[in-house]
Amino acid sequence: MTDSGPAYDVLIVGAGSAGSAIAARVSENPNLSVALLEAGPDYARLSDTPDDLVNSHNNSYRDHDWGFSYEPTAGRQDRFPRGRVVGGSSAVNTTIALRGMPEDYDEWAALGNEGWAWADVLPAFKRLERDLDFPHAPYHGDSGPITIRRYPDSEMLPQHLAFIEAARDFDYPYCADANDPDGWGAGPHPMNKLARLRISAAVGYLAPARLRSNLHILPDREVQRLLLQGRRCVGVECRHQGQNQTLRARLVVLAAGALMTPVVLLRSGIGAAAEVAALGVELAADVPGVGKNLSDHPALAVVCEVRDPKLIDFDAPIIQSILRYTAPGSDKRNDLQIEQISFAGRPGGPPSFLIAPVLEYQYGRGQLTLDSVNSAPRVANRFCEDQRDCDRLAGCVLDTLRFTREGPLAEMVAAVTFPDPARGGSLEDIKMLCRKYAGSGYHPCGTAKMGPVEDSTAVVDARGRMHGLEQLVVADASIMPFVPRANTNLTCFMIGEQVGEWLRTQPADYGL
């Protein structure tokens, strides 16, 4: 095993959305040496970046993936894509750039997390974005590293234009900016892409920061465990080119994502005492919340075979439009979402698109566990076991099915192939469908949630500092108390901005 010695001031584990933002912000201080570790490869130049990472018209599904699976509902297994590359999941995802509702962050703060209310996080959201469509709006930024735009009508595919028109026919308002804090209704998706180019963390944050001599990007290093001296974290042990390597630092920031962050903690002896003991690992800190509180967006897919095969182009943008609205009787604004997806299936199969009903505010919780220190995480979402979730998602499915029966989008549909109309279309039928077939929106979070030390389920405090240990910070989707009402990529950037700025401007709070 090689040992680098105390080489770094700040060592960040995970070069995804949050980790890259932290590395970029902290390395603005030339007096701090910063190491950014990533399990996957690094493509330092855009000209060397593979097409699956550049092409934002569709996700990258295999070449830069961890190969994880998950259990969305009891007895089912499915693949759970996560980016394994510098840029993390921001380098492989759909490039949807939604913020969530102001109430999400106010609720985070109300749970005892000072500094995370909407008024506190809005400056970070503005700082991270370069919004090309609404640069002068008081709630938008115009000079950040992540460029955001929306498809104009002239670039919209026919099925997306029809979806937005149908929504208007159903009395949903037109929403030009889904990131307007007061907005709702149907309109174009805000997206962090320029033509085909995906503006990932690697492109937006790291490309300009690479010029700094105090920033060291270290790819192909999968962290096995944290190094602890008593209750103080002093570095990490990782695998590099088939060898174990020890890297030491004054402060370790764990930003490996909602799935791998709890895995690293458990391997390091940090978690519920009984779970750590079952792994054969010496207990470093009894933190029962590690791996618990898994929150995500349950969703279904209404699959439609189309009348005109020319509508389906697998080289076109996979998504362009969105509808956000509130479930009847709900006090959670915009807790439902419907998205038009441009195509479904595979080339050569029946020409189809899908419409996705999504539950945006989730009450239920799942958990992540480990069978052994060398195993992949076991992810059990337990979607729709909470009746409140099941009821609202089922209602959203019925609202989605209306698009297939009435209006301009319905005129494109030859048949609905899922859910099978022959199996019944009542509310109770759809609830049963949700309990059996709900799947992930691929927005896991909450597995190392932040909260005051009095909260027995909290893992870190409101600054990301680990309860019960020193010089260890967690800053990624895992610290979210619950999933915001939005795809989580922009929120992960925001978390990186918040923690990165605290580290840069208030280093003494982190023992630096």
pLDDT tens per residue across span 394-426: 999 999 999 999 999 999 999 999 999 988 899
Domain span including residue 285: 2-103+199-294+444-510
Is 262 a member of any domain? yes
Mean pLDDT for all residues in the chain: 97
Q: How far apart are CA 101 and CA 257, in angstroms?
A: 22
15 shares its domain with 83: yes
Mean pLDDT for the stretch of residues 471-484: 98
Asked whether residue 176 carries a pLDDT value surpassing 90, the answer given is yes
Please tell me the total count of domains within the chain. Answer: 2
Q: What is the mean pLDDT of residues 370-382?
A: 97
Based on the fold, state whether residues 290 and 308 are members of the same structural domain: no
The one catalytic residue in 57, 297, 443, 467 is 443
In the residue annotation, 57 being an active-site residue is answered as no
Residue 474's pLDDT band (boundaries 50, 70, 90)? Answer: very high
Identify whether 413 is part of a domain.
Answer: yes
Of 403, 437, 471, which residue constitutes the final position of a domain?
A: 437
For the cut 90, the answer to whether the pLDDT of residue 5 exceeds it is no
Q: Hey, how many other C-beta atoms are within 10 angstroms of the C-beta on 386?
A: 15
The H or E element spanning position 254 is strand 243-254
In this structure, the answer to whether residues 17 and 84 fall within a common structural domain is yes
In this prediction, what percent of the chain has a pLDDT beyond 70? 99
What contacts 82, CB < 8 A, 6 or more positions away? Answer: 65, 66, 68, 88, 89, 257, 259, 260
- Do residues 206 and 227 both lie within one domain? yes
pTM of the model: 0.97
Is residue 22 a part of any domain in this protein? yes
Task: Please give the pLDDT value at position 406.
Answer: 96
The alpha carbons of the chain give a radius of gyration, in whole angstroms, of: 22
Residues 6 or more apart from 317 whose CB is under 8 A from it? 56, 57, 151, 157, 342
Please give the average per-residue pLDDT across 329-345, as a whole number: 98
Domain CATH code at residue 354? 3.30.410.40
One domain, residues 98 and 212: yes
What is the average per-residue pLDDT within 252-276? 98
* pLDDT confidence of residue 492: 98
- Integer Cα distance of 274 and 24 in angstroms: 38
Query: Are residues 404 and 329 part of one domain?
Result: yes
> What's the pLDDT band for 3 if we cut at 50, 70, 90?
low
Tell whether 124 is covered by a domain: no
The CATH number for 501's domain is: 3.50.50.60
Residues 207 and 259 in one domain: yes
Judge if 457 and 499 occupy the same domain.
yes
Summarize pLDDT for 178-198 with one digit per residue, the tens: 999 999 999 999 999 999 999
Q: Which of 243, 258, 236, 265 is nearest to 35 (CA)?
A: 236
Which carries the bigger pLDDT value, residue 6 or residue 197?
Answer: 197
- Report the DSSP beta bridge partners of residue 79: 69
Is the same domain home to 289 and 303?
no
Residue 378 lies in a domain: no
* Average pLDDT estimate for 158-172: 98
| Final residue before a domain boundary, out of 402, 437, 472 | 437
Q: Are residues 32 and 45 in the same domain?
A: yes
275 lies in a domain? yes
- Digit-coded pLDDT (tens) for 29-88: 999 999 999 999 999 999 999 999 999 999 999 999 999 999 999 999 999 999 999 999
Same domain, 8 and 43: yes
* pLDDT exceeds cutoff 90 at 232: yes
Pairing label, strands 190-191, 197-198:
unpaired
Residues 171 and 274 grouped into a single domain: no
Q: What is the mean pLDDT of residues 458-469?
A: 98
| 6 has pLDDT over 90 | no
Residue 353 has pLDDT above 90, yes or no: yes
The closest alpha carbon to 295, from 378, 363, 389, 384, belongs to 363
* 366 assigned to some structural domain: no
pLDDT of residue 7: 85
Which stretch of DSSP H or E encloses residue 490? helix 489-505
Domain assignment present for 125 = no
- Among residues 395, 416, 437, the one where a domain terminates is 437
